[in-house]
Amino acid sequence: MKYSDQQLIEAISNGDPRQRDWALYQFCSEDSLRGWVLHYVENHGGNVEDGEDVFQETAVIFDRNIRQGRFDGKSTLRTYFLAISKWHWVTYRRKKGSVSELKPEHYDGEVESVDAQVFESEKREILEKAIAELDTRCQELLQYYKLDYSMKEIKELLGFSSPEMAKKQAYRCRSGLRRCSIGIPICSKH
């Protein structure tokens, strides 16, 4: 028997751990869902083990977001789950430094100087620390923004009332990130 998204949401968020576990099992045991995540990760620089890790982490994030009321019902649960898995895999790869932008000098065989590499590393570290100072909602919003999600998609994923409100919040989060990256002490958890 296939359960509706609404039935699954109610079971996950009603507070009963047995119903929550049952609903998550029903949802996550769908072979095509796991298969899609594994396929996506493998086609984007990972392996089967990475795919399994992403699937498990996505299930945890998915569960938490449903219980916290962050899912607004503008998409199916499946679409929402897959969006989380994509975001999680890209974030993981960026943290590990395995995603790099190809620049023209890479084609010519030129290598950056050690000083330039150290500078880039320090810049990345400052940016990561600044992002960590922001509240979770801003961190999520900036991840979607960085991945070129439209304001309409961000509105749906994070539950804003309109794309314009998502845009305003993105501006506030970027402003907060700028303050944090230059060391203004009032930037944290605004």
Structural domains in the chain, CATH included, are: 1-99 (1.10.1740.10), 112-190 (1.10.10)
Per mean pLDDT, which range of 9-18, 44-53, 76-85, 99-108 is the poorest? 99-108
pLDDT score of 32: 86
Q: What percent of the chain has pLDDT over 70?
A: 81
At 35-94, the pLDDT tens digits run 999 999 998 888 999 999 999 999 999 988 888 888 888 888 888 998 899 988 988 888
* Chain centroid, CA 24 distance in Å: 20
Q: Which tokens in the block code for residue 16?
A: 């009963």
Nearest to 62 by CA among 101, 103, 106, 13: 13
Distance CA 101, CA 85 (A): 21
Q: Model's pTM, two decimal places?
A: 0.51
**156 close to 165: Cβ distance less than 8 angstroms:** no
- CA dihedral 85→52→46→100, nearest 10 degrees, is 40
Mean pLDDT of 13-39: 87
